[in-house]
Chain A
Amino acid sequence: MRAFKQTGSLLFFSLKKEWLKFSLWVLGCLSFVLVGIIAFVSIYSGAADRQAMSAAMSNPAMQALFGKAIGLDNYTIGAMYSHTMTVMTLSLIGIHSILLVVRNTRQEEEEGMLELFRSLPTGKMAHSTAALSMLLISNILIAVFTILILLIFGDSSISLEGAILTGIIYGLNGLFFGITALLVAQFSANSRSASVTAFSILGIAYGLRIIGDTGLELFSLLSPLGLLYRTEPFVTNQWWPVLVIIPIMMVLGLTAFYLQSKRDMGGGLFPAGNGKRAASSFLKSLPGIIFRLLRMPLIIWIMAFVLLGIAYGSVIGDVETLIAGNAVIEQIIANDPSQSIVNQFISILLGVLSIAAAIPALQVMMKAYSEEKKGRISHLLVGNRSRTRVLLSYTAFSFLVSVFMQLLQTAAFGGAAMTSQPEGLAFKDVVLGGMAYIPALWVLIGAAVFLYGWFPQIISGVWGLLGFCFMILYFSNLFDLAEWVKGISPFYHVPEILRGEEGTLSLILLMMMSAVLTASGFIGFNRRDLIND
């Protein structure tokens, strides 16, 4: 057992340094479960509402997103939770587990921490074992609290067996992806390629499940997500997928440990390949380098937005039956009987999509800040580029991203919505309705540029602003809020074109506001010291 010497003290140390991230992630996963179950119980308490929902959820796009429709004949809260939440929660826990393992194994190895530990009298496997123990602890916590949350907040359809099964598949899924990450970490030459590979496996698992759940069922069984989804808690409560995945997981874990014992510290079984000797002419320009730095997240956002747009668009045909008579939803969209309910619903959805489109656009400005903190903006400024020009490149890119993403997802949304041929709804109107939100997005970008120029340390405050906008959009009709509080959100001033609102003036005012914020951000950036840690 010499190889595992000091595992306990390493685990204690890891928990001490990780506790904040660790607890935030565990709480995040659990709040996803909590919000899910509470929302279902409060919004879909009526059997008729649920039955309407089951019709909407069984269309192909929704099955692709969430999984093969289950329990349709008796769509209880339990069945609804199982159908729509399982794959999403499994993916979220998978992401958490991959990050946790890579951060505590390969990344520490890369940054030299492992070297120090190994020079002390600790066992060869102690470091990895400590990381796996942490993975185990986090997934046990998730499993146990999921069971409790479901039993406490669920209705009578949430059976004890189903809740326990749900908790167990959540925990096992986390362990599976964490162990997979440890395994691929043995092959990779560095922590980035380890996490990229592990995330690709998660992505492939999701993709296989899409193929399987929309047709060829066999593919679903090849995917751990699809396999665990087949447990169907609260519907049929199958235990065999649990029995299948446990031995697979153990084989993967033992292989990872065996490979780790064979390889050199810092080495990977597949060494990193050589890269380019010289830069392409595109990379050598300011927009080129900025694009290159943001390429990966943008590609992922594009895929997510297309998927999201199509999925939301695909339910439009069923909206009428879905909403009719559901008091809570009617209140959220502030139902006006003189308007088509579909148009009102789409109007709200466009607002939600626009908030999502703000995220990648704001990320561009966040990148400017993180690049500055790491001392890399100065590499650009030491050349013959002025501060204005460097900031202009980031800002212009951010504005472009907002337009592109909004156009892309409203087009995907509108296109999918058109397939159900809703009455009195034109593709052009959906896209125009989405475009109307762009000036509001620009105000948020302007706020980010302003903060970057004058108060860079608190630039992440724009996320708070975005969250506030989301709350106003979603809940302003549920609670009585003062007009001026709602007015803080730029989205509140966007005319809802699909409801026939006119608002050229407010759009112009939003754009002017964005321009003022952006310009003053430039003034600030030209006056302040660069930040360097």
Chain B
Amino acid sequence: MKMIKIESLSKSFGRHQALDRVSFSLGKGEVLGFIGPNGAGKSTTVRILLGMLKPTSGTAELFGQDAWKDAVEIHKRIAYVPGDVNLWPNLTGGEVIDLFLSMRGAAVDQDKKEALMKAFEFDPTKKCRAYSKGNRQKVALIAAFAADADLYIFDEPTSGLDPLQERVFQDQVRKVKARGASVLLSSHILSEVEALCDTVAIIRNGKIVETGKLEALKHLTRTQIRVKAERSLDHLKEKNWIHDYSKDKSETVFLLDTNHLADLLSELQNCNVTKFESAPPKLEDFFMRHYETDEEVD
């Protein structure tokens, strides 16, 4: 059974179409990176999954149950961290964490809670009004990780965290994944997605533009190659799997469609190569490329 199954989900607010036939799914024990620029529809999708918004058409199911109708049953098994955590200014962080945990209806594992507060270096005795954005996010993160959920939904959870705490976050995600839980990570921090996710779904203007295994997607990307050779390499320029061919002093720099690596090596065999560097494909390159081409189409 899929943990999340979304099929041709649409949502409009008045005339504005926020989501247009979005489909993707998340399996058990998987971490899905849900990426896209601001305003693309990430939070709308997440809020539909949480039963806060009603879909205009299409289905959104969690654990095989309807996100809207069975919200209460579903919520017993999930933990959620919003991107912009708004807390009650006159309660302390510790009080809010306890409140969030008790709203889940399960007994609180005090040791786990304390350990998380320590890991995130969080002081629970301050009033929420005094917390920075990062500290407010920690409140929601601690409450989420202290719960034993089957599915964790994070909506840009680390935008206020420093790199050290970002690492704590990543460790915790790996821990819950090892336990067999699933994670939906909506984010635009691509390095984070790259470090954690098995699959990604890319959304833009309310439409899913790409979805699949991260490795498979990377395969579609281009690798940057820098070569120094004694013979001329200009014949490469003609190949349709070579892009942005240019000379940098005595070296040649170009982008290679990653699935044509073998072709390149055979072409280079007789060129007396003295230096060969390749920069691995990054999700960011793929993401940027995708967006640039899309913008050209627009």
Chain A residues near B (Cβ < 8 Å) = 110, 189-190, 192, 272, 274-279, 283-285, 289, 292-293, 374-376, 378-387, 527-530, 532
Q: Separation in Å of the B160 CB from the closest CB of chain A?
A: 14
Q: Which 10 A-B pairs have the closest CB atoms?
A: A383-B103, A279-B98, A275-B92, A284-B102, A274-B125, A279-B95, A530-B52, A384-B105, A277-B94, A529-B53
Q: Would you give 21 A-B contacts (Cβ < 8 Å), ordered by A?
A: A189-B130, A190-B130, A192-B89, A192-B90, A276-B92, A276-B95, A276-B125, A278-B98, A279-B96, A279-B98, A283-B98, A284-B99, A292-B91, A293-B88, A379-B103, A382-B103, A383-B75, A385-B72, A529-B52, A530-B52, A532-B52
Name, among A284, A285, A376, A528, the residue most crowded by chain B CB atoms within 10 Å (CB to CB): A284
Interface bits B29-61 vs A (CB < 8 Å: 1, else 0):
000000000000000000100111110000000
What is the CA–CA distance of A263 and B94 in the complex, to the nearest angstrom? 29
Q: Separation in Å of the B93 CB from the closest CB of chain A?
A: 9
Q: Separation in Å of the A444 CB from the closest CB of chain B?
A: 27
Q: Separation in Å of the A375 CB from the closest CB of chain B?
A: 5
Interface residue B71 (Cβ < 8 Å from any Cβ of A): yes
What is the CA–CA distance of A229 and B78 in the complex, to the nearest angstrom? 62
Given contacts A529-B54, A530-B47, is CB(A275)–CB(B95) below 8 Å? yes
Interface residue B124 (Cβ < 8 Å from any Cβ of A): yes
> Are A279 and B103 within 8 A (Cβ)?
no
What is the CA–CA distance of A285 and B91 in the complex, to the nearest angstrom? 14
What is the CA–CA distance of A293 and B90 in the complex, to the nearest angstrom? 8
Given contacts A278-B94, A293-B88, is CB(A378)–CB(B52) below 8 Å? yes
Q: Separation in Å of the A200 CB from the closest CB of chain B?
A: 16
Name, among A283, A374, A383, the residue most crowded by chain B CB atoms within 10 Å (CB to CB): A383
Q: Separation in Å of the A386 CB from the closest CB of chain B?
A: 5
What is the CA–CA distance of A384 and B78 in the complex, to the nearest angstrom? 10
Given contacts A192-B90, A384-B105, A529-B52, is CB(A379)–CB(B126) below 8 Å? no
What is the CA–CA distance of A384 and B99 in the complex, to the nearest angstrom? 12
Given contacts A376-B87, A528-B54, A529-B52, is CB(A272)–CB(B94) below 8 Å? no
> Are A384 and B75 within 8 A (Cβ)?
yes
Given contacts A192-B129, A381-B71, A382-B50, is CB(A283)–CB(B80) below 8 Å? no
Collect the chain A residues with CB atoms within 8 Å of residue B104's CB. 383-384
> Are A381 and B52 within 8 A (Cβ)?
yes
Collect the chain B residues with CB atoms within 8 Å of residue A110's CB. 129
Q: B80: nearest residue on chain A (CB-CB)?
A: A382
- Additional 10 contacts, C-beta under 8 A, given A276-B92, A383-B105, A387-B71: A275-B94, A275-B125, A279-B98, A285-B102, A292-B91, A376-B86, A380-B103, A382-B78, A383-B104, A384-B72
Collect the chain A residues with CB atoms within 8 Å of residue B103's CB. 379-380, 382-385
What is the CA–CA distance of A276 and B125 in the complex, to the nearest angstrom? 5
Q: Separation in Å of the B244 CB from the closest CB of chain A?
A: 41
Q: B147: nearest residue on chain A (CB-CB)?
A: A383
Collect the chain B residues with CB atoms within 8 Å of residue A376's CB. 86-88
Q: Separation in Å of the B92 CB from the closest CB of chain A?
A: 4
Q: Separation in Å of the A454 CB from the closest CB of chain B?
A: 14
Collect the chain A residues with CB atoms within 8 Å of residue B88's CB. 289, 293, 376
Collect the chain A residues with CB atoms within 8 Å of residue B102's CB. 279, 284-285, 383
Given contacts A275-B126, A529-B53, is CB(A383)–CB(B86) below 8 Å? no
